[in-house]
């Protein structure tokens, strides 16, 4: 019997051979083309673009908007929608994620202006195209919120990414006409309301300056600071800073050119705001008569308006006329001691009095001078105390900017309020030299008779009375005299021409009745019948 054993063949694991069918050239070409198409940007998967934009608008308003939870949520939602619409204008499938929104209120190295919005975009477009689309877009939703807050100005994305990239052209001042009391009432009313009121007051002024300097906001940015407001007897001075965008060339003459452009503004937005403020703030309704028809920038008299010692106006303005008056000043003290002081230090006493008067009467639009012409000691009696009576002439030089000449009563009151401490020191020294009192050169001045008196009092050596001269005279300069003479000549010649013309017309028949001669001669014409 034979046993059959089944044998199974197994493949060897020591080596293995795989046979693949040959690939056609067409298939290889298709695979290569597919790889190239997938590598193309249009077929590549979109990657997030992380960037930021600098939004316009007052930093104080942005700080209030994003500082309140309710308005912050609404503003972020509005910014999300505006950025989404801007980016989808170049990529319909792009998605925007808002990562942050903060104000630039506290900023170093650049303007404290606007807000910083940080966002990421899932798109295939580069960052430059994304920012270009955002800067050219209208922020409709954010503008709606700002208009509700009282800020009627479009919010846009500036061409710079952040304030630190800006270059300062320099701080400037814009003088705006208007009475001192008018600006005082306006600013006090706004300051008592809230911080937003002052910001909304400055914003239309900033918009007007920006429109005059660079309406496209591509070269220069205007930053008007509400904290830097000064009002004096000349103007309302608004401080603003000009910032240059990157790659904008700034020369030495750039500030003057930009200042000239700002001065030429009509301030249309600011005037509209002032008109609306009459009804917006109830406290201003009683002051409607103070509001000017329209405020305008103007050029005030030269010099530093915040430094009374910044120069002598006599060197800047030509004096058109002089308003002159004489005063008698009585200084208290013993007549004998004043006699000794005047004998030893007459020039020093005169210089101290002139210096005190001119310091008190200093005005930027006038050229005021004081001249001590003589002095005499006055013994005390039952009616008045003794002392030194000084005769002084005060000249108010009127320039083309002068608008209020002090009458005698006001001027006498000012003379009593002057600081005569140096004169008192000379009296106390008994005629010895006092440091700081420099004698002036003597002047030859004519005297006028005096009337009336103004009384005061004080310590020994101080002024107690001022006597006013009402025989005020106004001496015209040569230029003003020439203008008056020329006007008189023109009027005189015109009257002579008119009189001669009227006489000729009334006395000469040829002028009065031109048809009379022809009528008389026609009566004696003899006609010849045919």
Positive or negative, the Cα torsion across 127, 128, 130, 134?
Answer: positive
Asked if residue 289 and residue 368 are part of one domain, the reply reads no
The answer on pLDDT for 148 being more than 90 is: no
Round to whole Å and give the CA distance between 465 and 468. Answer: 10
Describe the chain by its helix, strand, coil percentages, rounded to 5.
40, 20, 35
Q: By three-state DSSP, how is residue 502 classified?
A: helix
* pLDDT tens column, 98-142: 999 999 976 667 898 999 999 999 998 999 999 999 999 999 999
Round to whole Å and give the CA distance between 305 and 298. Answer: 14
Residues spanned by the domain of 385: 321-433+458-468
The average pLDDT across 500-508 equals: 79
Burial 339-352 (b: 16+ CB within 10 A, else e): eebbebbbebbbbb
Hey, how many other C-beta atoms are within 10 angstroms of the C-beta on 390? 23
Q: Is residue 316 part of a domain?
A: no
The answer on pLDDT for 528 being more than 50 is: no
pLDDT averaged over the chain?
79
Using alpha carbons, list the distances in angstroms from residue 349 to 137, 332, 338, 386.
Answer: 74, 14, 10, 17
Residue predicted with more confidence, 181 or 96: 96
Q: Quick check: 330 and 391 in contact, CB under 8 A? A: no
* pLDDT tens column, 297-307: 987 766 555 55
Lowest mean pLDDT among 56-65, 181-190, 352-361, 430-439: 430-439
Lowest mean pLDDT among 238-252, 305-319, 383-397, 467-481: 305-319
Domains: count for the chain: 3
Round to whole Å and give the CA distance between 349 and 346. Answer: 5
- Provide the percentage of residues in the chain whose pLDDT is more than 70: 75
Rg (CA), the chain: 43
Using alpha carbons, list the distances in angstroms from residue 307 to 224, 226, 232, 443.
Answer: 22, 21, 11, 29
Q: Is residue 146 part of a domain?
A: yes
Asked if residue 146 and residue 171 are part of one domain, the reply reads no
Asked if residue 176 and residue 147 are part of one domain, the reply reads no
The average pLDDT across 206-215 equals: 94
* pLDDT tens column, 394-444: 999 988 878 788 888 888 888 988 899 999 999 988 766 555 544 443 333
Most confident among 325-339, 469-483, 505-519 (mean pLDDT):
325-339
Q: Is residue 19 part of a domain?
A: no
Tally: H helices and E strands in the chain: 15, 12
Asked if residue 188 and residue 152 are part of one domain, the reply reads no
End of a domain among 134, 157, 180?
Answer: 157
Asked if residue 341 and residue 289 are part of one domain, the reply reads no
Q: Is residue 39 part of a domain?
A: no
Q: Is residue 87 part of a domain?
A: yes
CATH number at residue 151: 3.30.70
What pLDDT sits at residue 199? 85
Asked if residue 172 and residue 152 are part of one domain, the reply reads no
What pLDDT sits at residue 482? 84
Asked if residue 209 and residue 146 are part of one domain, the reply reads no
The average pLDDT across 327-353 equals: 91
Asked if residue 464 and residue 333 are part of one domain, the reply reads yes
Q: Quick check: 121 and 96 in contact, CB under 8 A? A: yes
Q: Is residue 438 part of a domain?
A: no
What pLDDT sits at residue 60? 85
The residue ranges of DSSP E strands in 66-141, in sequence order, are: 95-103, 113-123
Q: How many CA atoms lie within 13 A of 336 on its CB side?
A: 0
Round to whole Å and give the CA distance between 185 and 400. Answer: 28
Asked if residue 341 and residue 389 are part of one domain, the reply reads yes
Asked if residue 173 and residue 143 are part of one domain, the reply reads no
Residues 6+ apart with CB under 8 A from 77: 141
* pLDDT tens column, 229-256: 788 766 888 889 999 999 999 998 999 9
Which residue shows structure tokens 């706004």? 190
The average pLDDT across 335-346 equals: 91
pTM of the model: 0.55
Asked if residue 327 and residue 392 are part of one domain, the reply reads yes
Q: Is residue 501 part of a domain?
A: no
Q: Is residue 493 part of a domain?
A: no
Asked if residue 176 and residue 126 are part of one domain, the reply reads no
Positive or negative, the Cα torsion across 206, 209, 215, 221?
Answer: negative
Q: Quick check: 117 and 79 in contact, CB under 8 A? A: yes
Comparing CA positions, the residue from 452, 359, 464, 455 lying closest to residue 408 is 452
The answer on pLDDT for 34 being more than 90 is: no
What interhelical angle do 254-263 and 195-214 show, nearest 10? 110
- Provide the percentage of residues in the chain whose pLDDT is more than 90: 38
The average pLDDT across 292-317 equals: 65
Residues 220, 223, 229: CA angle, nearest 5 degrees: 140
């Amino acid at each position: 019997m034979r046993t059959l054993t089944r044998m199974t063949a197994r493949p060897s694991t020591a080596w293995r051979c795989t046979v693949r069918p040959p690939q056609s050239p067409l298939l290889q070409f298709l695979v290569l083309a597919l790889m190239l198409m997938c590598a193309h940007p249009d077929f590549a998967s979109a990657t997030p673009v992380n960037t930021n934009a600098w939004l316009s608008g007052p930093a104080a308003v942005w700080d209030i908007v994003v500082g309140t939870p309710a308005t912050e949520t609404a503003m972020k939602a509005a910014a999300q929608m505006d950025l989404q619409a801007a980016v989808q204008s170049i990529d319909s499938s792009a998605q925007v994620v808002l990562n942050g929104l903060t104000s630039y209120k506290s900023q170093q190295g650049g303007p404290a202006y606007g807000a910083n919005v940080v966002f990421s975009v899932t798109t295939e477009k580069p960052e430059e195209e994304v920012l270009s689309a955002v800067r050219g877009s209208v922020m409709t939703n954010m503008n709606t919120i700002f208009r509700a807050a009282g800020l009627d100005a479009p919010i846009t994305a500036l061409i710079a990414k952040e304030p630190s990239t800006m270059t300062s052209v320099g701080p400037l001042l814009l003088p705006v006409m208007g009475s001192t009391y008018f600006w005082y009432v306006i600013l006090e009313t706004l300051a008592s309301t809230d911080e937003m009121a002052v910001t909304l007051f400055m914003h239309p002024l900033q918009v007007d300056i920006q429109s005059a300097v660079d309406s496209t906001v591509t070269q220069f940015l205007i930053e008007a600071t509400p904290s830097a407001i000064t009002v004096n007897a000349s103007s309302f001075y608004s401080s603003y800073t000009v910032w240059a965008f990157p790659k904008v060339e700034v020369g030495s003459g750039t500030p003057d050119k930009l200042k000239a452009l700002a001065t030429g503004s009509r301030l249309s937005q600011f005037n509209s705001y002032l008109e609306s403020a009459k009804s917006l703030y109830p406290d201003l309704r009683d002051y409607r008569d103070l509001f000017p028809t329209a405020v305008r920038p103007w050029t005030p008299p030269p010099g530093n308006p915040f430094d009374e010692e910044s120069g002598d106006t006599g060197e800047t303005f030509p004096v058109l006329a002089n308003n002159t008056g004489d005063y008698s000043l009585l200084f208290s003290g013993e007549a004998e001691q004043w006699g000794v002081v005047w004998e030893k230090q007459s020039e020093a006493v005169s210089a101290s009095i002139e210096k005190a008067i001119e310091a008190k009467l200093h005005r930027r639009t006038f050229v005021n001078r004081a001249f001590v012409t003589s002095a005499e000691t006055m013994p005390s009696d039952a009616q008045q105390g003794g002392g030194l009576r000084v005769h002084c002439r005060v000249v108010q030089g009127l320039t083309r900017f002068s608008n209020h000449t002090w009458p005698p009563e006001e001027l006498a009151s000012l003379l009593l309020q002057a600081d005569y401490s140096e004169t008192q020191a000379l009296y106390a020294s008994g005629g010895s030299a006092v440091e700081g009192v420099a004698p002036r050169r003597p002047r030859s001045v004519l005297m006028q008779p005096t009337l009336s008196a103004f009384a005061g009092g004080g310590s020994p050596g101080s002024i107690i009375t001022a006597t006013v001269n009402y025989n005020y005279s106004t001496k015209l300069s040569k230029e003003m005299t020439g203008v008056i003479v020329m006007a008189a000549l023109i009027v005189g010649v015109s009257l002579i021409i008119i009189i001669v013309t009227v006489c000729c017309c009334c006395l000469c028949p040829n002028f009065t009745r031109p048809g009379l001669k022809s009528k008389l001669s026609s009566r004696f014409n003899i006609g010849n019948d045919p």
